[in-house]
Amino acid sequence: MKNSNNTGLLVVVLGIVAIVLSYMFGFTAYNNKNSELQAEIDELEARRDELKEDYAHKDEYLKKTDEFDKEYEKVLKKFDTGITNEGELMDLYNLQGTTGIMLDRATFTKPEESYAFDGSLTTSDMVVSTVDADGNPVEADPIITSTAVDPSYRGVSADVSFTMTSSYANIKAALNSLADESKRRAFKSFAFTCDTSNDTVTCNGSYKEYAITGDDRKQTKVDIPESASGRTDLFLGGLGVQVTTE
């Protein structure tokens, strides 16, 4: 009878232990999950506060975005949508008609890609450092960290060299026209020779032209005039003009 009581007591004790252990493990798991949820709530509340702060300055952000977009387009428009030898040829052809110079030689290189906008440039690269109340440097957070340029854009360039002859005034006008911001050109070299017998100047020069191509940048169509007959060349310079492509 005594052994039976001991067995029953042992069963009760083991049951109580099992209940306690189950409660402990269950409580621990519940407590861990509760901690995870609380951490997530804290993170979401912090994000909510950031969004509320951003929303409070929404009009300012929209205004700044519009200003930056306009500046972006303004800079982009300074670059042509592409480079072709035909286009460079017609630029010099039109230069003859507008400035009165005579083109004796023109040499073009094949346009090549010189820069790839791979999307690595972001507004985070333009963060301005500031200081706190104690004068310690603090880096201000950028408002936007998305890609600042279209990754389809490609910077292309080509070299052009030329020889032109005319009066000093006409040569000066031609060089000023080539330096106009409608196209991005960087002059590389100049050499001038003056013929006092007929008051003419010969200019040997070269420049590199730059453009930006892209999916949304339609290239300008280039029309080259044709002649069904005759011996006058395209540049109105007789038979001596030389046009080559390297």
Looking at residue 152, its pLDDT comes to 81
Percentage of the chain with pLDDT > 70?
Answer: 68
In whole numbers, what is the pLDDT of the chain averaged over residues? Answer: 78
What values do phi and psi take at 80, rounded to 5?
-65, 160
Distance CA 39, CA 49 (A): 15
Instruction: Evaluate if residue 231 carries a pLDDT over 60.
Output: no
- Name which of 143, 161, 149 is nearest 92 in CA terms: 161
Greater pLDDT, 246 or 101: 101
Decide if 96 contacts 170 (C-beta within 8 A): no
Q: For the chain, report the end-to-end CA distance as a whole number of angstroms.
A: 114
Instruction: Evaluate if residue 216 carries a pLDDT over 60.
Output: yes
Strand boundaries in the chain, DSSP class E? 102-108, 112-116, 129-131, 137-139, 154-166, 184-195, 200-213, 242-245
Q: Is the pTM of this model over 0.75?
A: no
